[in-house]
Structures are given as C-alpha cells and as structure tokens.
Amino acid sequence: MKQPISITSIASISALGSNLEEIWQNYLTDNHFLSTREFNGKPVFVGQISAENQQKIAALKNSDAKYRNLDDAVLFAIFVSREAVKNANWTNKKHIGKVKDRDFGVNFGSSRGATSLFEKYHKEFLETQKSSTLSSPTTTLGNISSWIAHDLQTKGPEISHSITCSTALHSLLNGVAWINAGMSNKFLVGGSEAALTDFTIAQMQALKVYAKQEVKLESYQNKKDFSAAPEMTSSPYPCKSFDLKKAQNTMVLGEGAAAICLEKGTVENAMAKIIGVGFATEVLKHNTSISTDAVCFQKSMKMALGEISPDAIDAIVMHAPGTIKGDVSEINAISKIFCNKIPFLTTNKWKLGHTFGASGMLSLELALLMLQHQKAIPVPFSKKQPTPKRLTRILVNAVGFGGNAVSVLLTR
C-alpha cells in the first residue's frame, strides 16, 4: 500500500449486540449467541439480533415515512452508519443526521440485498400477477448506499455491490482504493445482511451446508416458538466453525451489519491502521467450490503481507464458515503461507452465525477489539493454541461463492 489508512470508528449490529463494550464482553465468554426458530415445522439455529435491537430497528423504520417501506438490510446499514460516523466525530452529535464534514464516500454492500422484501413482492406477483409500486426501488441493490447517503446527506460517491460473502471487505478495498487514488480523504464502508428467511435457509440446506439440528422436542412439539428449545444433543455448539474434526457441515445463517470509517494516513483517533490489502479469484470447478488449498486465499494473503514477513503476524481472523471443505481449505492455505509458524487462529461464526455479505466486517471488528484490548479470543472447541504475548498485526480473511477472497492486514 502507498500509505496506511486509519480506521477511526466501527459500529455493528448482530446477535452479539450493537454496543462495542457489550460485544467485547460477549466475546469473553465461551457461549454462542445462536437461537432457534421454526422452519418447516422443525427448529433450526439462526444468529438473530436481540429483541432490544429489533426495537431499535423498528424505531428507525417508523422515524420517517420514507423508511417504512425499507428492508431490514437497508435499515441495518443506516443504523450502523449513523453510529460509525458519530463515533468518528464526522457528525454533530446533537443531531445525528447533520454531518459536519459531508465530503466522504459511501460503499456499502450486501450478498443478497433486500431479501425479505424481494421474496414478499415476488410471492405477491405469483399470486396476483401484479407488482407493488415500490417493489423495484426498495429491492434494487444500489438503494443501500443511496439510502445511507440520503440519511447522512453526504456529498461523496455512493457505491453498492454484491460479491457474495466477501462483500464487506470488498467495500473496504474500494474505500482504500479511492483514498490511495487521491479521489477522497474519507470513506464509510461496510456490509449488511438480513436474510433470515425460509427461502434462504432452504437454499443453504439444498447445498447441504446448513447445520442439521439434533434437538429433543418432547415439550415443544405443539409450540410455534422454539426459542426455549434445548441445544443440539451432540454438542453445545451448533456451528462448529474451525472444528477440523467435524463429520458434517455446520453452517448457521446469521443477520447483521457493520460499518467502519476510513481516513487518509495516520490520524490521532485511529482505532487501528490498515497496512495491507489483498484479493484474488479462483478458477472454479463448481459454482460453490474452492480448491483444496484455497489458492485464492494464498494469493490474497501474500498480497496483503507485501514485504512484511509472515512471522510478523500475530493472529488471523479466519472466514471459516463452518463447512468441512471451507474450513479445511483455509487452514491448508494458511499452512502454505505461514509454514511452521502458524499465527494464533480464530473466528466468530460459531458465536453469531454466517452473516454473508456483512461477515468480513464483523470479523474485522473482532480483530479491532483484540488489538484494542490486547487479548486473543479462542474458539473453545478448537485445538488449544499458544496465546500471543502481544497483538500488533492481525490478518482478516473473507471469501465467498465464486472464489472471491479478500485479506486485510491491521496493525495498532
């Protein structure tokens, strides 16, 4: 990279919460934050935002007549964007919608976009052969960044995209590129996903990657609410992300969003600095495939490292979706790059689920918190690793369908 890029704030909403201190405290436990919901008469695990945060999103939805027809994916994005720019001191805190310096870009993406609304309008069309007036503008992918820019009244460029599960880190790549090109000094970047729908879960089950639940339902058979149902009888952890001995795929779908504020160079209030970015795309043999040694990750990690020795990396926050092939291939790629000196490895999907397009930024949040608190967060059921004496440089990985890998290198 030409110069470091400062991360001056981060904000998120997920099953772990929406307050950084709360989120950190939740990382310090060995508990997961997955819950159960009914799907085809049976319980499935999902990573859902809390009832308290659902109320916050509902309040945002009802705060403006224009927002009442927006999908949760857009509302999540607006919610975290407001918090991020406020925490970066880009706004007048007395009025969150009044931005002091509006000359910054927005790049927000989503893997699936306005999932609930799209499915609602499509079902309506199949039944009536008519489409609602707002079906197009409210489900168009570009409306995520457009609504954020409207809400914050920004003057910079607005970009939306979908690059499957590496979407959020591709947003970061774009922000870094605009800043390095001298076309902007500040960028708000992130990803949002609100895809906890029956159709989306059915798609993941059709791919045979979704966690199969082994839940005893003696007292729950006639109930619609499975939130109090016991966990899997075979394991206290529904999603076995980074468990290399698992015998079946254990991906669990989550919802959430995260945004960070990027600023040119090194600034005083920086939480961390980006000192390397890397990206690569694999030649696929199948729509969802990844090579045994995840060549795309090897290339993206090498690019992110640049001239920095692999020995200088203290930890890696892995993509690790909880699938057998996905987890193993990433470990194989890490072994190829880091050889006999593997950094501390961790992931967060076993806690909050796989949030698709938002997942990379939520992984980056874990890296930022580990840097800030100087504490490595282990995966409780993974092989025990030596705890790093210090955390100075952390690598964050993300990859999605299509073999689009991104790696981001952070330092204090």
pLDDT tens string 383-402: 899 999 999 999 999 999 87
Amino acid at 360: G
Q: What superfamily in CATH does domain 274-411 come from?
A: Thiolase/Chalcone synthase (3.40.47.10)
Domains 5-198+253-264 and 274-411 share a fold: yes
The pLDDT confidence band at residue 218, using thresholds 50, 70 and 90, is very low
Spatial separation of the C-alpha atoms in residues 409 and 367, rounded to whole Å: 10
The whole-number pLDDT of residue 327 equals: 95
Long-range contacts of 247-250 (CB under 8 A, 24+ apart): 248/212, 248/324, 249/208, 249/209, 249/210, 249/211, 249/322, 249/323, 249/324, 250/211, 250/322, 250/323
154/90 Cα distance (integer angstroms): 11
For residue 120, give both structure tokens: 């609602």
User: Is the separation of the CB atoms in 111 and 39 below 8 Å?
Assistant: no
Stretch 5-22: mean pLDDT: 98
- Confidence category of residue 1, pLDDT binned at 50, 70, 90: confident
pLDDT top residue among 210 and 97: 210
d(CA 80, CA 16): 14
Confidence of residue 102 (pLDDT cuts 50, 70, 90): confident
Q: Is the pTM of this model over 0.85?
A: yes
| pLDDT, tens only, 221-248 | 444 443 444 443 346 899 999 999 999 9
Check residue 286 and give its pLDDT: 58
What is the rounded distance in angstroms from the CA atom of residue 118 to the CA atom of residue 136? 9
Q: What is the mean pLDDT of the chain?
A: 90
Cβ atoms within 10 Å, residue 262: 26
pLDDT score at 13: 98
Checking if the pLDDT of 2 tops 70, the result is yes
CA distance 267 to 271: 9
More confident residue, 223 or 30: 30
Domain boundaries of the chain, sorted by first residue: 5-198+253-264, 274-411
pLDDT at 144: 95
- With contact defined as beta carbons under 8 Å apart, do 111 and 359 qualify? no
Strands (DSSP E) along 15-173, which ranges? 35-39, 42-46, 105-109, 158-161
Residue 235 confidence (pLDDT) = 63
Superfamily classification of domain 5-198+253-264 = Thiolase/Chalcone synthase (3.40.47.10)
Distance between CA atoms of residues 271 and 372, nearest Å: 7
3-state secondary structure of 393: strand
